[in-house]
Amino acid sequence: MSTKRARMVTVAAAGTLTLATIISVAGVTLSTGAAAAGTTNAFLTSVDAKAAAVQTSYTGGGASSAQEAIILSKTRAAEAVHQQQAAVEKDAAAKAAKAKADAAKAAKARAAANAAVKARAAAATPSGTPQQIAQQMLGHYGWSGGQFSCLSPLWEHESNWNVNAQNSSSGAYGIPQALPGSQMATAGGDWQTNAATQIKWGLTYIQDRYGSPCGAWGHEQSAGWY
């Protein structure tokens, strides 16, 4: 065998080994990115066919054919990695977009829930005259509307249902004549001027001490205070 022929065989053999090795590596790389399927697989199939056709010409084409096959196999591997990376980035972008959309949806749901809670709270806040407010609150304490027949004269006697009523001798204050008036702060910071806050405190006091407005009114009638 001539020296030139020997070199050609050596190059062809080396080319075959290199091609097989690179195709193997490319195959392993692709196996980790199977989600990239469609376009990548079509491209690889095309290049594989061309590389196989070139490889069959090694013995007749010499060193140039071997070099061409090596270049094709390297191109195949590089392009496969590139397309796989593009697919991974696309998938990551899609997941990020979905996460952002989910977060926005959750935030909107929380805002709607908070708005609903505020609306219910506003609707539950009684309004009207002090007497009307008290009538609306009776049910919150488990009392029937009939209890107002006792509550009305009780606070009429104590303060004439006046939020600013103050006993000059004892210092008792407000509609329920709390003593001292500052203890009504447990029902709200606006205890000095808000009838609903004063009534809420007064009804809680009556429930804890007398059980009901009629119980408090009975004590008021017998003792002169409650």
- Over residues 96-154, the pLDDT tens digits come to 989 898 888 888 877 776 665 455 555 567 889 999 999 999 999 999 999 999 999 99
- Over residues 143-162, the pLDDT tens digits come to 999 999 999 999 999 999 99
The residue whose two tokens read 């805002």 is: 111
pTM: 0.49
Number of C-beta neighbours around residue 76 at 10 A: 22
Residue 77 above 90 pLDDT? no
- Cβ-contact 104, 76 below 8 angstroms: no
Measured CA to CA, the distance from residue 199 to residue 66 in angstroms comes to 98
Q: Which of 25-29, 134-138, 175-179, 221-225 has the lowest mean pLDDT?
A: 25-29
Rounded to an integer, the average pLDDT of 27-38 is 48
- Compare 184 and 46 and report the one with higher pLDDT: 184
Coil, helix or strand at residue 180: coil
